[in-house]
Amino acid sequence: MNCNLSDNQKSIKIMLVGEGGQGVQTIAKLLAKAAFAKDYHTSYIPNFGTEQRGGISIAFLQVACEEIVSPKFVDPNVFIILSSRDINRTLRYITKNTTVIYDKYLVKKEIVEKLKKQSPTVVGVDAFELATEKLSERSLNILILGILIGFVDCTLIEKITEIMDKKFQKYYDKKPELKKLNHEALTLGLNLTTA
C-alpha cells in the first residue's frame, strides 16, 4: 500500500469536539469512509449524549497505514474544537504533541487560554465566518473536513467528494446549489491547511 499520510506518519489520531447538529459525526464518517476506500486502515468511534442538538458530540477517528490495534485513544495528534460547551470533559485528551484547531467565532477566549495551557500548538481558524460569509452556515462542517484532509492526505479530496455527493444527493435534488457550496467549502478548508 502506498501511504500518503502527511509528514510521513504511519497513523494519525483525530478528535473532533462540537455540539449536536454541527456535523462532527458526519465529518468523521466521511473521512473514515474515504480513507478506507483508499486502502488506509480506519477506525471511528462516536461519542455523544442523548441530546441530539445542543449536546456535546465527540468523534474519535484514526487513519493508519498499518492495522489499528486499539481504536480508542487518549492522545490525539489533531484536536478540533467547534464549541465551548463542556470543554473540561475533553481537555484531558490534549497533550503537548497535539495540534489544537479551534474556531475563532465558536470558541470563547477563556477556553482558548485553557487549550494553550495544554498544548503549545493552538491554531484559530475563521471557519464559521468563512462559511457564513462566502458559502452557507451549513457548510461549516464540510469546511472543517477540508482542513482535516490537509492533515491526513490531500489526495483524499476526490474520494471524499464522491462519497459526500452520494450521501447528500437527496439534499442536492431539493437544493442544487448545495453541491457547489459543499465543493467550495471542501476546497476552502483544504487551502487553509495547505497554505
Summarised one tens digit per residue, pLDDT across range 54-92 is: 678 899 999 999 999 888 888 999 999 998 887 888 899
Closest C-alpha to 108, from 91, 122, 87, 93: 87
Domains and CATH numbers, the chain: 6-194 (3.40.920.10)
The per-residue pLDDT for range 98-139, each reduced to its tens digit, is 999 999 999 999 999 999 999 999 999 999 998 888 888 888
Under a CB-based contact definition with an 8 Å cutoff, are residues 6 and 151 in contact? yes
With a pLDDT cut of 70, the percent of the chain lying above it is: 92
pTM of the complete model beyond 0.85:
yes
Across 31-41, average pLDDT: 95
What pLDDT does 137 receive? 80
24-38, 49-63, 140-154, 168-182: the lowest-pLDDT one: 49-63
